[in-house]
A and B are shown apart, each in its own frame.
Chain A
Amino acid sequence: MAKPGDLLRVLRPKSVNGLLRLYAKNPDTLIFAGGTERATRAKLASVSTESKMVIYLGKVEELSRIRRSQRYLEIGSCLPISRIVSIGRHILPLALSTALRSIANPTVRNLGTLGGNICSAIPNNDSLAPLYAIDGQLELRSVSGSRWVPISRFFPGAGETVLKKGEILFRIRIPLEEWDYQCFRKVSGSHICSHALLNFCGLARFSKGILETVRFALGGLNSTVFRSLELESRLEGKTLPLSKKEVESLLAGAGELLEPLTDSSFSSAYSIATGLRFLRWFIENIHRENR
């Protein structure tokens, strides 16, 4: 009897053009990078039976580049997380590097990639809330060309991405802006391979005691990462520290927006309540600089 996996073809393209041509010809192929989501024992067993072809991205050098310009940092989608953290030590926004350093554990970070963390479309993945907050941009490429999509438009629904057939996530562009206050916090279930249950990222810029820019994002609530430009704009222009009334009003507004995002399950009640507590903690501490 033919063993599962006997018929499986694995392609290891060496250039991005080669990759895109292959992928265009075989759009139903499974894409494989770090493998930390795909290669668990249970999932790998199904790869060999459900797929006829796998394209391994690890040999495409352009996908592992990291480049800096004055305004941006651009990270290839297949660079291992641990490499991003070590190379980008002094450049990455603090909130993002904190988030990346909290993913899983050190050995998994040597394999896992930022592209995988994004494309697996799991809303509690740790890179997402910070990427939403800093307005990360994603470059998607196919043989037809390339397009840029803001991260907030990348997930049309639970577990889905806007990647078309034959399209891959090529790189992630992170604006390098000055922030006066940044934070990333998460709640994780397990101690040793911390899948986040919930995570929060907040950023603020202020001068002379006035809030200029505020961003915050909450990940892990069901199917999306939550960010509200409307709530953020309510805070902009306010004097720091915020008054109790302003804080309560903002939280009430956030509560209204969060409620419909979740189902009525047990973990959901905790997620909403904790999400609101994260938000309160953020805006009450916002005036503390941590450049």
Chain B
Amino acid sequence: MKINFLVNKRPVTIDGSPVRRLVDILRIDLRLTGTKEGCGEGSCGSCVVLMNGNLVNSCLIPAFKLPDSEIVTIEGYAQSKEYTDLKQALEDAGAFPCGFCSSGIILAAGNLLAENSSPTEAEIREALSGNICRCGDYDSIIKGIRGVTAKPQSRRYGKTR
């Protein structure tokens, strides 16, 4: 099945099985290995990407859902100013000892901040409730997200209507 879609604003054409998972298309076919796979069933958050502006688990997206869709991975998000601010704040807080969960958490955090520029701790926990950090460094992550200076977001990065 031939599929055309956008990845990080670039047009991409994939020809393969219609049930090939987006996480494999990104990591293997497109060599965008910033997105990780930790569980294959949507419970760890390592594979999270933005699809048409919504945060989804790429391990649960078969190729046949992709035609005409827009995907933003961590590599795409990393081009934004929002990412730079968030990354700095997280590094200052000393987050991510090993970094495996960082892509998923940064996208989830960025998505939250785009909708709510000064979330409470409870709101941060709720928004990130689908991400796990096995190093257990939850406190630093929350501290980092709260440390991001609240700036008005003119549009949500990657969102299309």
- Give the contact stretch, choosing among A2-10, A138-146, A253-261: A2-10
**Count of interface residues, chain A, beta-carbon cutoff 8 Å:** 33
Q: Does A26 contact B (CB under 8 A)?
A: no
- A and B contact pairs by CB, cutoff 8 A, 14 listed: A5-B20, A10-B1, A10-B18, A35-B62, A39-B59, A40-B41, A40-B60, A54-B18, A54-B19, A105-B42, A107-B55, A107-B56, A107-B57, A111-B57
Give A40 to B16 CA distance when docked, in angstroms: 19
Interface string of A187-212 (1 = CB under 8 A from B): 00010110000000000000000000
Known contacts A41-B21, A107-B108, A111-B56: does B62 contact A193 (CB below 8 Å)? Answer: no
Determine if B130 and A107 form an interchain contact, defined as CB atoms under 8 angstroms apart: yes
Give A36 to B45 CA distance when docked, in angstroms: 14
Q: Does A110 contact B (CB under 8 A)?
A: yes
Known contacts A10-B1, A36-B60: does B18 contact A44 (CB below 8 Å)? Answer: no
Known contacts A35-B65, A56-B64: does B42 contact A106 (CB below 8 Å)? Answer: no
Task: Pick from B17, B18, B60 the residue with the most CB of A within 10 Å.
Answer: B60
Report the nearest A residue to B64, measured CB to CB: A10
B contact residues around A35 at 8 Å (CB)? 60-62, 65
CB within 8 A of B45: which of A5, A10, A32, A107? A107
CB within 8 A of A4: which of B1, B17, B21, B57? B17
Q: Does B88 contact A (CB under 8 A)?
A: no
Report the nearest B residue to A43, measured CB to CB: B41
Report the nearest A residue to B60, measured CB to CB: A39
B69 CB to closest chain A CB (Å) equals 10
Determine if A190 and B54 form an interchain contact, defined as CB atoms under 8 angstroms apart: no
- Looking at chain B's contact residues, the main secondary structure is loop
CB within 8 A of A44: which of B19, B45, B108, B126? B19
A-B CB proximity, top 8 nearest: A5-B17, A105-B130, A193-B43, A41-B40, A10-B64, A40-B41, A10-B18, A39-B60
Q: Does B160 contact A (CB under 8 A)?
A: no
B contact residues around A110 at 8 Å (CB)? 54-56
Give the size range of B's interface with the partner: 20 to 34
Interface string of B33-61 (1 = CB under 8 A from A): 00000001111110010000011110111
A contact residues around B45 at 8 Å (CB)? 105, 107, 192
Known contacts A104-B130, A107-B57, A193-B43: does B17 contact A48 (CB below 8 Å)? Answer: yes
B70 CB to closest chain A CB (Å) equals 15
Q: Does A58 contact B (CB under 8 A)?
A: yes
- A58-B65, A110-B54 are known; give 16 further A-B pairs, CB within 8 A: A4-B17, A5-B16, A8-B17, A39-B59, A44-B19, A56-B65, A80-B54, A106-B129, A107-B48, A107-B55, A107-B57, A110-B56, A111-B42, A192-B129, A193-B43, A193-B130
Give A195 to B10 CA distance when docked, in angstroms: 37
Q: Does A247 contact B (CB under 8 A)?
A: no
CB within 8 A of B42: which of A4, A54, A56, A193? A193
B contact residues around A12 at 8 Å (CB)? 64, 67
B125 CB to closest chain A CB (Å) equals 11
Determine if B44 and A192 form an interchain contact, defined as CB atoms under 8 angstroms apart: yes
Report the nearest B residue to A195, measured CB to CB: B43
